[in-house]
Amino acid sequence: MKAAYVENGIVHSGVLPDPVPGSGQALVRTHRCGLCASDLHFIKGGRNVIDLSQKLGGPYAMLDFEKPFVPGHEYVGEVLDYGPGSARPVKVGRKVTSVPVMTAGGAYSVIGYSHDCPGGFGELMLLDETQLIEVPDHFDDDHAACIEPLAVGLEHARRGRPDKDDVALVLGCGAIGLGVIAGLKLAGVAPIVAADFNPHRREMALKMGAHIAVDPRETDPYGALPDLGSKRVNLIYENVGLPGMLEQIIQAAPMHGRIVMGGYCMEQEHLFTFTAQNKCLNVQFACGEEPQDMELALRAIGDGRIDVSPWIGAKIGVSGVADAMAAMADPASPIRTVVDPRLD
């Protein structure tokens, strides 16, 4: 199959062997797959993640960074077949997405970060049949590739246990931060404050439902906000993923504040916990989406409650993945570039 793959920290494109489904696995032809910042983070910090997984346990322990693997976990595709003895829950020819995990055979792998489960930057994927979510035929493929990243944001939003009395702050307005804003809006939370250095992303945050969007170099998002009647935030969502962010938030958060850590930081974080204890802060670490979040994302995109069309930038083939991933370091880049592995 044609694929963009990572080998020894470098993105290549070429031809790899077709995956063969085993029991409980669906063979799926990829239609679209979104480029995620976590893919870029993994290229830079993946060795450390693998080492920690091998030491402490985790789904990345079996990944060899020096051998080819095909990333891509924000996908939609068409079911081609199943492995022997499978339950075959979705008919062949139907479109599907899934939570990007593989549990068939008693193992636990992350789709796209496994030598056995190639991701959506290749023409063919193996998906766990128990995780399949059918996507309506009329559903736009580009929009369907946004179901997974939106679902992550929805999961992060609910981890904060938001209610109508909260004033929420969303730090970082990439795809996950925008998903958090959308999830908070669905939950009826108001007001929502967004903070990002980039003006395009602040504009996107307003489109997704933020009430105000500030440049933290110009406006202290933790202070009394004149546009909100001098209210202060108490529920803080971190979606940046850089070392030092949690310590900064702890120092700035109010008494009894709640913090949801959603940004994937692949480096060590150093904390002065005394401050957090004195403020009685609650720190919740969010991870990935669950089926309920995927299903909500699909419904909300499908019925128009959440419009992801402004997220979509270029559509590329596998040969364009390396350049597109490098360009993701620029915050002015599109929220989502989508890969169609059937293209050249």
- Residue that finishes a domain, picked among 244, 270, 285: 285
pLDDT at residue 194 in the model: 98
Contact, 270 vs 251, CB < 8 A?
no
Q: Which of 128, 119, 125, 126 is nearest to 89 (CA)?
A: 128
Within 10 angstroms of residue 265's Cβ, the number of other Cβ atoms is: 17
pLDDT at residue 275 in the model: 94
DSSP helix/strand/coil, 2: strand
Q: Does 296 fall in a domain? A: no
Q: Are residues 82 and 118 located together in one domain of the fold?
A: yes
Q: Does 326 fall in a domain? A: yes
Q: Are residues 46 and 9 located together in one domain of the fold?
A: yes
Q: Does 316 fall in a domain? A: yes
pLDDT at residue 252 in the model: 97
Q: Which of 104, 102, 32, 198 is nearest to 112 (CA)?
A: 102
Q: Are residues 276 and 320 located together in one domain of the fold?
A: no
Q: Does 206 fall in a domain? A: yes
The CATH number for 122's domain is: 3.90.180.10
Q: Does 105 fall in a domain? A: yes
Q: Are residues 105 and 189 located together in one domain of the fold?
A: no
Q: Are residues 46 and 89 located together in one domain of the fold?
A: yes
Q: Does 301 fall in a domain? A: no
In this prediction the pTM is 0.94
The CATH number for 199's domain is: 3.40.50.720
Q: Which of 60, 286, 256, 283 is nearest to 166 (CA)?
A: 256
Contact, 126 vs 25, CB < 8 A?
yes
Residues of the chain with pLDDT under 50: none
Q: Are residues 131 and 258 located together in one domain of the fold?
A: no
Q: Are residues 111 and 174 located together in one domain of the fold?
A: no
Residue range of the domain that includes 236: 153-285
pLDDT at residue 156 in the model: 97
Q: How many domains does the chain have?
A: 2
Q: Does 302 fall in a domain? A: no
Contact, 141 vs 28, CB < 8 A?
no
pLDDT at residue 77 in the model: 98
- Alpha helices by DSSP H, listed for the chain, are 37-56, 141-144, 147-159, 175-186, 199-208, 245-252, 273-278, 291-302, 321-327
Q: Are residues 175 and 223 located together in one domain of the fold?
A: yes
Q: Does 312 fall in a domain? A: yes
Q: Are residues 102 and 161 located together in one domain of the fold?
A: no
Strands 212-214, 192-195: pairing is parallel
Q: Are residues 276 and 325 located together in one domain of the fold?
A: no
Q: Are residues 108 and 222 located together in one domain of the fold?
A: no
Q: Are residues 279 and 327 located together in one domain of the fold?
A: no
